Amino acid sequence: MGRSAIIVGSGAGGSVAAWALATAGYRVLILEKGRNLLPGLGTTGPIGSLFGNDEVKAGRFFENQDIVLEPRTARSQSEAEQGVARSFVGDVNTLPTVVGGGTVHWDAKTPRFWRQDFKGLSLYGPVPDANVADWPLTYDELAPFYDEVEQRLGVQGDVAQMPAATLAQAPRSQPFPMPPNPPMYGGTLLAEGARRLGFTAYPFPMAVNSTAYDGRPRCNSCGFCSGYGCPINARGGAAVSFLHHALLAGARLEPRAFVYRVNASRSRVTGVSFIDESGRQRRVDADVVILGASAIETARLLLLSGLGNGSGQLGRNLMFHFFTIAGGVFNEDVHSWRGPSTTFTIDDFVGPVQGAAAAAAGLPYLKGGICEVGGTLLLLGEAQTFAAIPNSWGKQHKDLMRSGLIRRHVAGLSMVGEDMPQLANRVDLDPDVRDVYGFPVPRITHSAHRFEIAASTYFGPQLAAVCQAAPGALAAFVLPVATLTEATGPGGPFAGIASTAHIMGTARMGDDPDTSVVDAFGRAHELDNLYVADGSVFVSSGGFNPTLTIMALSLRMARHLTGA
Amino acid sequence: MPAGVGRRAFLKAAGALGLLALVPRRRLEALVASAPGPGQDGRFLTAHELDTLRAVTARFVPGAPDDPDPGALEAGVAEAIDLLLAAFTFEPPLIHAGGPFSDRAGATHDDFADFVPLDAHAELGWRIRIEGSLGMPQREFAGPVTGLQEIYRSGLAHLDERSQQAFGVDFKDAPGPAQDLLLSDQTDGDLQTFVGAALANTLEAMYGPPEYGANRDLVGWGYSRWPGDLQPRGSTDAEVSTPGPDTGSITGALLDDLQRFLPALGGRRASRTQFWLGRSGIPRS
């Protein structure tokens, strides 16, 4: 008999580990809290989809964790200092709860982290009031795993169009498996605006099929992309690219299995306890336990289990990303919804930028992030936006819907701003609120660091300038959404903590057991056979969509386990 | 699903997985055809409540004579909300339309009309959301919840009460501007709780897929010039990469409007007290 592994969560980290272990002879059991909405997954038949071009369903907790059953609570750092238990109960940073996790409806953008992201402390020094550290590994150690994940996932891109600075920071040894999708029109206008200002927009690497790949069809640009499950599985992801093959290799998947405790005996874990689909409490043992439940749920599970927190760092250093949005308004119908959300990116705002703006904020440097170029809202999203001010319904609302002002005439930019890790930004167990299973829900304490606000203030006008410089732009705006959220607090009109869907940092990796939770391979310092395979392990958040890096780290961990 | 994969193969695959059973039934046409008319009881709401809700939704999305294009009445919005409130009188419940395709963009079968069954976990969430916790311990693990049914029932009654006080007639019989006055009273918190739910559900019904019971004759996608769901046909490369047909006349007034609504672009999230909301769009007031 080979070795056995239990994997908690079937998202980006869990599914990659499942595939790597199952194909290496491990007996793998994946416990997933959500349902399977991809009929045929793991069978020799075709993989289907119960998703559709349906904005209503997407808003009805089809694949997302139902906040009635499993709410999360939130408060700001200052509320925590004042002893406020929580100021918000509801949806904090949407946790997809479904087979395949967030990659079932992800935007599928797959930038790599840069060399500098792994060595922030040694390259640029400490940041006041932040917990900056180096990762215990380098870009070069991770690069082969980036390569392999890109191949299996099916990533499109064009190395020839990538800026030299990007390739210097994230060198590539191979081309992308597929060429880029057709460029979205609004994005091409903003890309030209960027070029006029001396910036470089280039085709965004993404796990979207521009040609048939791995038995899945070419993307046909229906437009219901980020936030929507793909009806034709033209988008790669944890489920279709990894879990499917893991199941074919003999891994077992148990959906609707809520793991509430990791069981341990001295320095080893023995397995997990969970509640199954029928509500029965069960226990299962294995040689290895791997947690890939998300940076919020993994931290919560370890806290519920009373494990892995010898450093006091568990749950801390929670990072989200700090989005800044800008947009250009065009008289033309630029239909920035038609395509895979966005097809261009700009890396010129990643930073670091040293100088007056940073010094004015009392900071050694500023960093922004990658910039998604040329997106907008779909119809219902636009209708909801135009209804967002009290009493804005009626004929005026209908007139705006006729104009299609946002849908057809705005092309947006969205900068994925890097978050600083802070000890006080954390996940812990809410002292009062329980979920449907009877367990304390995760409580999120979060406030932005002045680093993020200063960076958004610094880069925001540059984003707006790109929009204004685009051919045919009538007007441009910048919208520091995260700053607005910050200013109004968790219970304020910007409802809740920034909903970025990027969650990182609650079980950071490091070499020193006194200052980190897991080692460079994701293994818990205090437990010989417990591993973490999700965004929890991130030491810094980078200015990049995190999923490809989660997958590469998980693959590296799994290969370490199998000795391959 | 990949091109060339027929529905039969798809269903077979679904069955093989044994996790979800699709019930292939065309019943939306039947439901819409048998929708209650004015003065008739709805599936959850009484005749009077349904008539009152029609009047409310017609202020949110007006048609003739206030607007040249069809509005909520023509789209069947109130009837669709009544269906949502009665979702659990159908099997499977009318919560999540099926997938992957409707029959509007090249597929021969309307999968959307085959609603996805809820499993026990999802059903509990939606029963709490629609029916409320009703004092049942298994629904009150995080405290009592007022369901949508009660929010509508008490909200509609409250509207009549306010209308009688102010104008001496039921809400549905008050003139349009008087109805607007009541609906926009931001000092009445109970009323705005109802307005928040009813407006959110109105927009879903008006601009969402017709399988949810409204957007009849696709009127919501007509004046908004929206192609709706595009799978499996999708877009052509030329449609993606060249300007669309709807060159606008973006005026200064429109730009001012955009400025007003910009802050909402960041998205709003549902809270425990606004559990009927999806992911964005409606303010807590």
**What gap in Å lies between CA B204 and CA A61, rounded to an integer?**
14
Count of H helices and E strands in chain B? 11, 0
**What gap in Å lies between CA A22 and CA A479, rounded to an integer?**
46
Give contacts of B212 with chain A, Cβ < 8 Å. Answer: 56
Instruction: Determine the residue type at A150.
Output: E
pTM over 0.90: yes
CB contact under 8 A, B240 and A339: yes
pLDDT per position as a tens digit, A404-453: 999 999 999 999 999 999 999 999 999 999 999 999 999 999 999 999 99
Nearest of A226, A272, A559 to residue A414 by alpha carbon = A226
Nearest of A405, A218, A62 to residue B231 by alpha carbon = A218
Extract the residue ranges of chain B whose pLDDT is less than 50.
1-25, 268-273, 275-285
First to last CA, chain A: 18
Mean pLDDT in residue range A166-187: 98
Give contacts of B202 with chain A, Cβ < 8 Å. Answer: 393
Residue to mutate among B258, B259, B260, B284, with most A CBs inside 10 A, is B258
Check residue B61 and report its DSSP letter.
S
Please identify which residue in the block is written with the tokens 């380098």. Answer: A138
Sign of the torsion angle spanned by Cα atoms A49, A53, A56, A58: positive
Beta bridge partner(s), residue B135: none
- Percentages helix, strand, coil for chain B (3-state, rounded to 5) are 50, 0, 45
For position B34, what pLDDT does the model report?
76
Beta bridge partner(s), residue A291: A8, A532
Q: Per-residue DSSP letters for B19-33?
A: S--------HHHHHH
CB contact under 8 A, B212 and A56: yes
CB-closest option in B1, B229, B272 to A67: B272
First to last CA, chain B: 42
Q: Are strands A288-291 and A4-8 parallel, antiparallel or unpaired?
A: parallel
For position A94, what pLDDT does the model report?
78
**What gap in Å lies between CA B272 and CA A123, rounded to an integer?**
44
Q: A102: distance to nearest CA of chain B, Å?
A: 15
Band of pLDDT at residue A212, cut at 50, 70 and 90: very high
Strands, sheet with A268-275, edge to edge from the N-terminal-most edge strand? A258-265, A268-275, A281-285
Among chain B residues, the shortest Cα distance to A441 is held by: B142
User: Cβ of B186 under 8 Å from any chain A Cβ?
Assistant: yes
CB-closest option in A58, A222, A434 to B230: A222
CB-closest option in B141, B247, B269 to A435: B141
Q: How far is residue A547 from each of residues A155, A217, A505, A533, measured CA to CA in Å?
A: 13, 22, 13, 11
Neighbours of B223 (CB within 10 A): 17
CB A537 within 8 A of CB A1: no
**What gap in Å lies between CA B59 and CA A445, rounded to an integer?**
41
**What gap in Å lies between CA A344 and CA A324, rounded to an integer?**
16
Q: A121: distance to nearest CA of chain B, Å?
A: 32
Query: For chains A and B, what is the number of CB pairs under 8 angstroms?
Result: 394
What's the residue count for chain A? 564
Q: How far is CA A527 from the centre of its chain?
A: 27
pLDDT per position as a tens digit, A475-529: 999 887 677 767 666 545 444 455 678 999 999 999 999 999 999 999 999 999 9
User: Cβ of A320 under 8 Å from any chain B Cβ?
Assistant: no
Check residue B139 and report its DSSP letter.
G
Instruction: Determine the residue type at A231.
Output: P
Asked if the model's pLDDT at residue A160 lies above 70, the reply is yes
Q: A323: distance to nearest CA of chain B, Å?
A: 9
CB-closest option in B266, B273, B275 to A481: B266
CB A477 within 8 A of CB B262: yes
CB B281 within 8 A of CB B264: yes
**What gap in Å lies between CA A492 and CA A88, rounded to an integer?**
9
CB A483 within 8 A of CB A205: no
For position A124, what pLDDT does the model report?
97
Q: Which residues contact A355 (CB under 8 A, 6 or more apart)?
A: none
Mean pLDDT in residue range A49-74: 94
Please identify which residue in the block is written with the tokens 């409802």. Answer: A495
Please identify which residue in the block is written with the tokens 């980190």. Answer: A516
CB-closest option in B2, B254, B265 to A479: B265
Give contacts of B118 with chain A, Cβ < 8 Å. Answer: none
CB contact under 8 A, A35 and B101: no
HEC assignment per residue over B192-248: HHHHHHHHHHHHHHHHCCHHHCCCHHHHHHCCCCCCCCCCCCCCCHHHHHCCECCCC
Among chain B residues, the shortest Cα distance to A412 is held by: B265
User: Cβ of B125 under 8 Å from any chain A Cβ?
Assistant: yes
For position B27, what pLDDT does the model report?
61
Joined tokens for residue A255: 């959906």
CB contact under 8 A, A53 and B229: yes
CB A510 within 8 A of CB A519: yes
Asked if the model's pLDDT at residue A231 lies above 90, the reply is yes
Q: B74: distance to nearest CA of chain A, Å?
A: 14
pLDDT per position as a tens digit, A25-44: 999 999 999 999 999 999 99
CB-closest option in B13, B260, B271 to A46: B13
Nearest of A162, A149, A206 to residue A181 by alpha carbon = A206
**What gap in Å lies between CA A249 and CA A258, rounded to an integer?**
24
For position B21, what pLDDT does the model report?
36
CB contact under 8 A, A333 and B247: yes
Residue to mutate among A91, A258, A410, A467, with most B CBs inside 10 A, is A91
Q: Per-residue DSSP letters for A427-452?
A: EEEEEEEE-TTSSEEEEEE----HHH
Nearest of B258, B238, B240 to residue B248 by alpha carbon = B258
Buried/exposed code over B4-14 (b: 16+ C-beta within 10 A; e: otherwise): ebebebbbbbb
Instruction: Determine the residue type at A245.
Output: H
Q: Are strands A344-346 and A371-375 parallel, antiparallel or unpaired?
A: antiparallel
Among chain A residues, the shortest Cα distance to B208 is held by: A56
Joined tokens for residue B27: 């019943």
**What gap in Å lies between CA B147 and CA B149, rounded to an integer?**
5
| More reliable by pLDDT, A81 or B1 | A81
CB A78 within 8 A of CB A87: no
**What gap in Å lies between CA B215 and CA B198, rounded to an integer?**
16
For position B256, what pLDDT does the model report?
87
CB contact under 8 A, B121 and A222: no
For position B28, what pLDDT does the model report?
62
Q: How far is residue B105 from each of residues A66, A112, A209, B203, B211, measured CA to CA in Å?
A: 31, 36, 21, 23, 15
Beta bridge partner(s), residue A253: A30
CB-closest option in B60, B124, B282 to A394: B60
Q: Are strands A281-285 and A268-275 parallel, antiparallel or unpaired?
A: antiparallel
For position B16, what pLDDT does the model report?
39
Among chain A residues, the shortest Cα distance to B223 is held by: A402
Q: How far is residue A191 from each of residues A203, A328, A367, A559, B171, measured CA to CA in Å?
A: 10, 12, 21, 40, 53
Nearest of A563, A558, A561, A562 to residue A149 by alpha carbon = A558
CB A539 within 8 A of CB A505: yes
For position B13, what pLDDT does the model report?
41
Q: Which residues contact B270 (CB under 8 A, 6 or more apart)?
A: A67, A90, A91, A495, B276, B277, B278, B279
Q: Are strands A440-445 and A426-434 parallel, antiparallel or unpaired?
A: antiparallel
Mean pLDDT in residue range A295-309: 97
Joined tokens for residue A473: 């732009």
pLDDT per position as a tens digit, A350-371: 999 999 999 999 999 999 999 9
Among chain A residues, the shortest Cα distance to B145 is held by: A68
Give contacts of B263 with chain A, Cβ < 8 Å. Answer: 388, 479, 481, 484, 493-494
Cα angle B64, B102, B97 (rounded to 5 degrees) comes to 85
Q: Which residues contact A26 (CB under 8 A, 6 or more apart)?
A: A2, A3, A4, A5, A288, A561, A562
User: Cβ of B71 under 8 Å from any chain A Cβ?
Assistant: yes
CB-closest option in B16, B237, B261 to A43: B16
